[in-house]
Structure 1
Amino acid sequence: MYKNIVIPVILDHPEKNKAAFEAARALADEGAHFTLLHVLEDIPVYVSEYVPNDFVVEARKTLRSKLDELSKTLPNCHAAITEGRPGTQILKWAEQNNSDCIVIASHRPNISDILLGSVAHYVVRHAKCAVHVIR
């Protein structure tokens, strides 16, 4: 069905990632291309003075290593890291890279999601391509 699939990943929820990978495989055309995308959120200004200068550089190295390992679990897959607000960056990446599908894992909603919204909710509402949400 899809040829260019983006899978946003959060490294501290491996069970969610596994379910998203399985769904992406099921939705993919033969020879499809997969991108594992991790969004490194900006450090708030009020916290930044307490964070070591090389924190972002080291965090990127660690993320890159973990994402590269994960990307070996899907054929024709590569990893990417971007920075900013997760929902916005996922959509920006998908549009700039001509993705035709986003497979995103979601958690069970709670009261804060009703008031503030979740990343998956934002992506579903604003994506210009197909979105499959995995629970």
Structure 2
Amino acid sequence: MYKNILVPVSYEADRNAQGAMEIAKALCTEGGSITCLHVMEQLPKYATEYLPEGHLEAAKANIVASLKALVEGVDGATTRVVEGHSSRTILTHADNNDIDLIIVASHQPGMQDYLLGSTAAKVVRHAKCAVHVLR
């Protein structure tokens, strides 16, 4: 059982955030904590100029609401939305918050993942704690 679990949540179609939360609840020790973290990738400045005013704030508000619904009724669960590079931000959060398990939902790897590496693969390779990958 784990005391401090991190569940990075991606809203891509093939990710199973609910399944990751179910695993987190099953593996969390009594009195432990679960943090659902969403990393908003930073857009280049030139790209943000083409977005409607308030778009990023509205997107963040929708993500916050979705994360709150995901942890509703789960004791010791919190949510965070941050900006940054996905894998680096997940790993830094884990290191800075004494995370002892990361549960990451992944997809079936495609050719681009073998060449560049997916977020889940980078987390598995570089995490200093246990990592559970959900497919």
TM-score normalised by structure 2 residue count: 0.91
Matched residue, 1:27: 27
Give, as a single letter, the amino acid of the residue that structure 2 aligns with 1:47. A
Matched residue, 2:83: 83
Instruction: Give the secondary structure class of the aligned counterpart of 1:20.
Output: helix
Matched residue, 2:129: 129
Whole-Å Cα distance in 1 between the matches of residues 47 and 90 of structure 2? 24
Deviations 1:9-67 (A, max 9, x none): 12344861122112212221112100010001111234222123422222221211111
Whole-Å Cα distance in 2 between the matches of residues 95 and 13 of structure 1? 28
Whole-Å Cα distance in 2 between the matches of residues 15 and 47 of structure 1? 26
Counterparts in 2 of 1:65 and 1:34: CA distance versus 1, 3 Å = same
Unaligned runs of 5+ in 2: none
Matched residue, 1:48: 48
Matched residue, 1:66: 66
Counterparts in 2 of 1:111 and 1:12: CA distance versus 1, 3 Å = closer
Unaligned runs of 5+ in 1: none
Whole-Å Cα distance in 2 between the matches of residues 132 and 17 of structure 1? 13
Whole-Å Cα distance in 2 between the matches of residues 128 and 73 of structure 1? 29
Contact 2:14 2:107 in 1 (8 A): no
Q: How does 1:2-17 map to 2 (within 5 A)?
A: 2-13=2-13, 16-17=16-17
The CA RMSD over aligned residues, in Å, is 1.7
TM-score normalised by structure 1 residue count: 0.91
Query: How far did residue 82 of structure 1 move?
Result: 0.8
Deviations 1:74-110 (A, max 9, x none): 2210110111111011111111111111000010001
Contact 2:20 2:103 in 1 (8 A): yes
Contact 1:104 1:131 in 2 (8 A): yes
Matched residue, 2:111: 111
